[in-house]
């Protein structure tokens, strides 16, 4: 018997990073020590007080039943508390907050909720590849917004053709940015919000790295702009802020009608998160945030160690301003993929080729600040032996 997948499944883009993972596994299986800085998986454990909250709440029989369909009010109130305390943003927890099964699910399902086949979505290039996945499954059409160094890796809205802007139904933005590490400014946020209001475009801001900013800069939330709730939503996740990537807790925040439709869609798929996980998330959001500040300081220390080591070997790059990534130009004579292959096979250092994030990512590789300083410095030393930067 033959089972034929739907057209939506056939539209899915190839999973570029699955190949990277296989290549790393092959080198490890051959007995080599690989310094893997090619992925975006936090390397630190979840803070102990959050784990203790989960252990405590898991014993409560209340959580052994189905959770409320749209999540526990305590968790919605906690995210509203966090946004007020940390970003000065007022949110109605009951109409402006939706609980997501991780930020990734929310970002993908938004395309299904809002795009019909043929609808245009504006997508950053380079950008997070799962934006593409959601648009593909919905049958939408992507119009790419180049992110280039000369514009601080922010889209130039004046370069979007008027006919494209008028057809666009949704836009994804992401700051601090994956993969470039760029951070938004209030002026850019105002420009983006106004552009979307002018053209009736749903603005979706992916704030996954929202607590990771360097050199004294706190990455702003788009919700700090008073017009953002009219323009769209922000998607936030606990994965990076609290090293809770495996816990799958995220939120959509902002426009009440968008939140209502997300909840309606999810009512047909989920019965919310395990209640004990929700209450542990409450602990994360409402307890002392010192663990968050300490984590950001750790990433900044790693960033500084990496760029200092790269500078010593002649690999010149501008340090990133946020996220836990470094965005490095490839040397002359290489593509992002050929350099990544060389570093893996000869230096046993795994990096992510920029082409995996879009055509504008060509010419760069992404390095995750997800190993300690000595390993980052060792990676630079291994690369130096290849004499790429003489």
Residue 85: its pLDDT value, please?
98
Residue 16: its pLDDT value, please?
76
Torsion (CA) 278, 280, 286, 291 in degrees, nearest 10: -130
Residue of 210, 196, 199, 195 lying closest to 255 (CA atoms)? 196
Residue 15: its pLDDT value, please?
77
**DSSP secondary-structure letter at 213?**
B
Residue of 60, 180, 167, 196 lying closest to 128 (CA atoms)? 180
Residue 142: its pLDDT value, please?
98
Establish whether the linkage from the previous residue to 211 is cis, with ω within 30° of 0: no
Reading the block at residue 253, the tokens are 């925040």
Cα distance between residue 341 and residue 22, in whole Å: 12
Helix, strand, or coil here: 5? coil
Please answer whether residues 168 and 199 qualify as being in contact, where contact means their C-beta atoms are separated by less than 8 angstroms.
Answer: yes
Strands (E), the chain: 35-36, 97-100, 120-125, 141-146, 168-174, 202-206, 232-237, 250-254, 325-329, 349-350, 352-353, 364-368
- Helices 103-114/256-267 angle, 10° precision: 100
Residue of 50, 46, 26, 48 lying closest to 36 (CA atoms)? 26
Residue 390: its pLDDT value, please?
75
- In order along its 390 residues, the chain shows pLDDT tens digits of 999 999 989 998 887 777 788 989 999 999 999 999 998 899 999 999 999 999 999 999 999 999 999 999 999 999 999 999 999 999 999 999 999 999 999 999 999 999 999 999 999 999 999 999 999 999 999 999 999 999 999 999 999 999 999 999 999 999 999 999 999 999 999 999 999 999 999 999 999 999 999 999 999 999 999 999 999 999 999 999 999 999 999 999 999 999 999 999 999 999 899 999 999 999 999 999 999 999 999 999 999 999 999 999 999 999 999 999 999 999 999 999 999 999 999 999 999 999 999 999 999 999 999 999 999 999 999 999 999 987
Alpha helices for 139-210 (secondary structure H): 162-167, 186-199
CB-side neighbour CA atoms (13 Å) of 276: 15
User: What structural domains does the chain harbor?
Assistant: 7-45+291-384 (3.90.1150.10), 66-286 (3.40.640.10)
Residue 39: its pLDDT value, please?
87
Cα distance between residue 335 and residue 203, in whole Å: 33
**Based on C-alpha coordinates, what's the Rg of the chain?**
21
């Amino acid at each position: 018997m033959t089972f034929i997948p739907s057209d939506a499944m056939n539209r899915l883009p190839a999973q570029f990073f699955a190949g990277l993972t296989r290549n790393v596994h092959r080198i490890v299986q051959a007995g080599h020590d690989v310094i893997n800085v090619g992925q975006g998986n936090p390397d630190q454990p979840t803070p102990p007080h959050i784990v203790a909250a989960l252990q405590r709440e898991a014993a409560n029989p209340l959580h052994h039943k189905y959770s409320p369909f749209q999540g526990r009010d305590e968790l919605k109130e906690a995210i509203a508390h966090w946004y007020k305390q940390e970003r000065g943003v007022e949110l109605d927890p009951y109409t402006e907050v939706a609980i997501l099964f991780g930020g990734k699910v929310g970002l993908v399902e938004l395309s299904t909720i809002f795009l019909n086949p043929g609808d245009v979505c504006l997508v950053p290039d380079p950008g997070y590849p799962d934006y593409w996945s959601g648009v593909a499954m919905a049958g939408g059409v992507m119009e790419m917004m180049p992110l280039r160094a000369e514009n601080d890796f922010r889209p130039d809205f004046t370069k979007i053709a008027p006919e494209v802007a008028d057809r666009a139904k949704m836009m994804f933005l992401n700051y601090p940015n994956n993969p470039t590490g760029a951070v938004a400014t209030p002026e850019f946020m105002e420009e983006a919000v106004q552009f979307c209001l002018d053209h009736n475009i749903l603005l979706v801001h992916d704030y996954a790295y929202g607590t990771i900013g360097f050199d004294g800069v706190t990455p702003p939330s788009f919700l700090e702009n008073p017009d953002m709730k009219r323009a769209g939503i922000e998607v936030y996740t606990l994965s990076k802020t609290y090293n809770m990537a495996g816990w799958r807790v995220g939120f959509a925040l902002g426009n009440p009608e968008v939140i209502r439709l997300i909840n309606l869609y999810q009512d047909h798929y989920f019965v919310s998160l395990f209640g004990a996980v929700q209450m542990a998330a409450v602990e994360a959001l409402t307890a002392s945030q010192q663990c968050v500040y300490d984590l950001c300081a750790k990433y900044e220390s790693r960033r500084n160690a990496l760029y200092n080591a790269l500078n010593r070997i002649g690999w010149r790059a501008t340090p990133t301003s946020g996220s836990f990534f470094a965005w490095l130009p490839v040397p002359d004579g290489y593509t992002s993929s050929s350099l990544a292959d060389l570093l893996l096979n000869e230096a046993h250092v795994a990096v992510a080729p920029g082409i995996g994030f879009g055509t504008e990512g060509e010419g760069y590789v992404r390095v995750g600040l997800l190993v300690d300083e000595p390993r980052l410095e060792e990676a630079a030393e291994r690369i130096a032996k290849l004499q790429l930067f003489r």
